[in-house]
Amino acid sequence: MKIVLFLLAAASVFAQAGRTLTAEQIALNVASFDKVWSTVRDKHWEKNPGGLDWNAIREEYRPRVEKAATMEQARAAMSGMLARLKQTHFGILPAGGYSEVGSPTGSGWTGIDLRVIGDQAVVKSVDAGSPAARKGVKPGWIVVSVDGRELAPLIAKLRKMDEQSRELMLYRPVQARLSGAPGSTAKIAFLDGGSKPVTVEIERVDAKGEWASFGYLGAMPVSLETRRLGNSGYVALNIFLDPGRVMPKFGDFISSCRDCDGIVIDLRGNPGGIGAMAMGMAGWFVDKAGLRLGTMFMRDNELKFVIFPRAEPFAGPVAILVDGASASTSEILAGGLKDIGRAKVFGTRTAAAALPSSIEQLPNGDGFQYAQANYISEGGKPLEGLGVIPDVVAPLTREALLAGGDPALDEALKWIRTQEKKTK
Amino acid sequence: MWIAPALMLAQAPAAAELPKAETVLDRFVEVTGGKAAYEKRKTETQTGSVEFVGQGVKGTITAHAAAPENSYMSMELEGVGRIEQGFAAGVAWEKSALMGPRVKTGGELAQVRRESTFNGPLHWRKLYTKVETVGVEPVNGEDCYKIVLTPAEGKPETDYFSKASGLMVKRVMVANTPLGDIPTETVLSDWKQMGGVLQPGKLVQKAAGQQIAITMDSSKVNEPLPDGIFDLPADIKKLMEKKQ
């Protein structure tokens, strides 16, 4: 049987209304706690998980779950225990949340992709033909509020979080403020290019991409965009899911771009997904057998992230775009190809959240994400806590966006053209 | 942790009391149908389901096999896509929605060749250069003969056969893969008549921290196989041509 590796992004958190628990629910929560605790004890790659006395941790947190009067309190106790590890990819995903990420409620999309620059939510791009594009929204505009709710307090609150994965944690909740049911309307207050207030009502439509699910992760829209920018190929992937559809489309594009002077892979905002897809994609850019992106280390075993070269890989320059919201599998692909000298990385440092993990269902119905291995990129350094440092640091700026630019992409294309000259 | 192996050693009968591995392996052939029943089988198509236990990932399996050593397996996993593997004319290959196509070599090739040998239980003398009974150990409460089988190429495999029924209960081995040597443990159960012999209806495999349950639902023997089912896929042919 084949071994399929599951590398997923940092856990999302979904709210659920509080209510008093029955004796049966309390028993299920305690059983869930036991499963969480024992899974970490048995599967964490360190014999003493996080350097902690894991038995003492159990004595500290189990009574809190036994006494929890609401699901929120029970989850808080379990999450609190996992937080003691100080590692990403450990989390409790509330039932009705993790399995319904893809439910139509909240999946409506305006066509705007946001990034937090400084203390402001700035429009990074507007999808051509989307409702926002039709209303004249432009990159570089600042989103002040959505449906009367200002974004500044949310950004200020999220900024207090751990610096390590701040950008990843900022991106999703802020972007989520634009979401709503398809067919609903978002009343968005902007500051336009001249910093003049503009309020626009924008209809939310079905999200870009095709819905795909994976295990208990639930359905999400998966978008693979491919196009030519001059004589360079450009591929943008929003999440590493749906390999049955994404991988052939990715391969077809690379094959069709064999005459391109270079290829840009845009992984900005990509939180990760199925780790093995990184190996499969890397095979399109490597001609030598035996190379690898890195190695995942479990307690008693290790798995090499080997690249299997395709019959006709792309031989030209490869540029990968990343930012602080590029996590997990994005970091494995970008970091690995950088380490073996096959790609140059542009943008800003990645989320530093790259631990191979799985999601299992707990007796109380919640999901439990846990990392079962450490991951060391081929350069010899872990990605967790360090991330991928770009070769060319090119942060997004509002000024560049307003001028129609995209610093990381512009630098990547400039580099590709330099490479072309070198080879001619 | 120190006590368990010592206790097992204490329970194991002296080597002189142990049956020869040859006897255990031949008995397995007998209890699963006998040589004649195996020899009637020339092709087989099996279908079943697969589940990554606890992770909500499920799928289906279809496997075709033919004498003397041809195999093709296709697994369709929800949310992943198709993973195919095969062996024919000395070439072992895999084509995965995740990692793309690849040709297997070295120890992995030898392992696939063994696994692809049709009516495998009947051919243990050809597949292994040395077999040895090393003890008796309980597996799920059932006393089993522990047999170590050493192939000409690759690491030894350890099979456990029920003392009472003679059926195989567990296999422990190290899977040789480019990702690394992966220790695996497969528990076989729910033995039933399929394709003219007794076969396990359920296999639960533990590998790399994951548990995979496979349930075989049906088996058809000696029926026509799909045309060209053992032909190398175009992607694999290209890789082979590149190699040469």
CB of A396 within 8 A of CB of A118?
no
**Subunit contact B100:A280, Cβ cutoff 8 A:** yes
CATH topology of domain B19-221: outer membrane lipoprotein receptor (LolB), chain A (2.50.20)
Q: Is there a single domain that holds both residue A42 and residue A117?
A: no
Strand-strand pairing, B197-207 and B180-194: antiparallel
**Subunit contact B96:A280, Cβ cutoff 8 A:** yes
pLDDT interval class at A280 (50, 70, 90): very high
Q: Is there a single domain that holds both residue A264 and residue A409?
A: yes
Q: How many domains does chain A have?
A: 3
- Name residue A75's amino acid: R
Which chain B residues contact residue A301 at CB under 8 A? Answer: 180, 182-183, 208-209
Phi, psi angles (nearest 5°) of residue A398: -65, -40
CB of B118 within 8 A of CB of B65?
yes
Partnered with residue A187 across adjacent β-strands are A201
Tokens of B154: 């690759």
Q: Is there a single domain that holds both residue A23 and residue A154?
A: no
Residue A421 pLDDT:
53
Q: Using N-to-C axis directions, what is the helix angle for A23-43 and A71-83, rounded to 10°?
A: 10
For residue A12, tell me if it sits in a domain.
no
Summary mean pLDDT of chain A = 87
Question: What is the 8-class DSSP label of residue A160?
Answer: T
Q: Is there a single domain that holds both residue A83 and residue A131?
A: no
Residue A102 pLDDT:
34
For residue A9, tell me if it sits in a domain.
no
Q: Between residues 35 and 64 of chain B, which touch chain A (CB distance below 8 Å)?
A: 50, 52, 54-57
CA atoms within 13 A on the CB side of A249: 18
Which chain B residues contact residue A274 at CB under 8 A? Answer: 80, 98
Residue spans of alpha helices (H) in A340-424: 398-402, 407-423
**Subunit contact B52:A4, Cβ cutoff 8 A:** yes
Among chain A residues, the shortest Cα distance to B115 is held by: A1
B214 touching A (Cβ < 8 Å): yes
Residue spans of alpha helices (H) in B32-185: 35-40, 106-116, 124-127
- Residue in B56, B100, B182 closest to A310 by CB: B100
Question: What is the 8-class DSSP label of residue A273?
Answer: B
Q: Is there a single domain that holds both residue A108 and residue A148?
A: yes
Residue B7 pLDDT:
37
Residue A100 pLDDT:
32
- Residue in B54, B83, B241 closest to A2 by CB: B83
What does the domain layout of chain B look like in residue ranges? Answer: 19-221
Partnered with residue B82 across adjacent β-strands are B76
Q: Which of A158-172, A312-326, B70-84, B189-203 shows the lowest mean pLDDT across its residues?
A: A158-172
Residue A253 pLDDT:
98
Q: Which of A270-284, A309-323, B1-15 shows the lowest mean pLDDT across its residues?
A: B1-15
Residue B45 pLDDT:
97
Q: Is there a single domain that holds both residue A238 and residue A302?
A: yes
Which chain A residues contact residue B74 at CB under 8 A? Answer: none
- Residue in B79, B83, B241 closest to A214 by CB: B79
**CA–CA min distance A186, chain B (Å):** 32
**Subunit contact A216:B82, Cβ cutoff 8 A:** no
Give me the CATH number covering residue A64.
3.30.750
Q: Which of A176, A206, A236 is the last residue of a domain?
A: A206
Query: Between chain A and chain B, how many beta carbons pairs sit less than 8 Å apart?
Result: 113
Nearest alpha-carbon partner for A304 in A276, A284, A345, A281 = A276
DSSP-assigned states of every residue in A73-117: HHHHHHHHHHHTT--SS-EEE-TTTGGGTTSSTT-BB-SEEEEEE
CB of A362 within 8 A of CB of B55?
no
Which chain B residues contact residue A306 at CB under 8 A? Answer: 178-179
B68 preceded by cis ω (within 30°)?
yes
Residue A203 pLDDT:
95
For residue A85, tell me if it sits in a domain.
yes
**Subunit contact B101:A308, Cβ cutoff 8 A:** yes
Strand-strand pairing, A120-126 and A142-146: antiparallel
Q: Is there a single domain that holds both residue A31 and residue A142?
A: no
**CA–CA min distance A214, chain B (Å):** 5
- Segment A86-96 shows an average pLDDT of 80
Residue A172 pLDDT:
78
Q: Is there a single domain that holds both residue A27 and residue A108?
A: no
Among chain A residues, the shortest Cα distance to B174 is held by: A301
The string of pLDDT tens digits covering residues B1-56 is: 333 333 333 344 455 589 999 999 999 999 999 999 999 999 999 999 999 987 88
Q: Which of A174, A206, A238 is the last residue of a domain?
A: A206
For residue A8, tell me if it sits in a domain.
no
Winning range, highest mean pLDDT, from A79-83, A163-167, A356-360: A79-83
The reported pTM is: 0.87
Among chain A residues, the shortest Cα distance to B56 is held by: A215
Q: Which of A93, A111, A144 is the last residue of a domain?
A: A93
Chunked into runs of 10 residues, chain B (244 residues) has average pLDDT values of 36 66 98 97 97 89 97 96 96 95 94 95 96 97 97 94 98 93 95 94 91 94 96 95 81
- Residue in A1, A244, A276 closest to B99 by CB: A276
**Subunit contact A310:B177, Cβ cutoff 8 A:** no
Q: Is there a single domain that holds both residue A116 and residue A57?
A: no
* ipTM of this complex prediction, to 2 decimal places: 0.88
In percent, the amount of chain A with pLDDT more than 70 equals 90
Q: Is there a single domain that holds both residue A181 and residue A36?
A: no
Handedness of CA A349, A352, A354, A359 (dihedral sign): negative
Q: Which of A26-30, A127-131, A237-241, B206-210 shows the lowest mean pLDDT across its residues?
A: B206-210
The span from the CA of A93 to the CA of A188, in Å, is: 30
Q: Is there a single domain that holds both residue A253 and residue A399?
A: yes
Residue A258: give the domain boundaries.
222-351+387-416
Q: Is there a single domain that holds both residue A118 and residue A257?
A: no
For residue A284, tell me if it sits in a domain.
yes
- Residue in A215, A301, A310 closest to B208 by CB: A301
DSSP-assigned states of every residue in A18-76: --BPPHHHHHHHHHHHHHHHHHHHHHSSSSSGGGS-HHHHHHHHHHHHHH--BHHHHHH
Question: Is A103 a residue whose pLDDT tops 50?
Answer: no
Interface test with A, best of B171, B173, B179 (most A CBs within 10 A): B179
Nearest alpha-carbon partner for B214 in B225, B204, B224 = B204
Instruction: For residue B117, count other CB atoms closer than 10 A to its CB.
Output: 21
**Subunit contact B99:A280, Cβ cutoff 8 A:** yes
pLDDT interval class at A389 (50, 70, 90): very high
**Subunit contact B100:A247, Cβ cutoff 8 A:** yes
**CA–CA min distance A191, chain B (Å):** 41
- Residue in B98, B209, B210 closest to A276 by CB: B98
Interface test with A, best of B1, B57, B78, B99 (most A CBs within 10 A): B99
Tokens of A373: 């291995």
For residue A258, tell me if it sits in a domain.
yes
Give me the CATH number covering residue A274.
3.90.226.10
For residue A226, tell me if it sits in a domain.
yes
The span from the CA of A225 to the CA of A234, in Å, is: 8
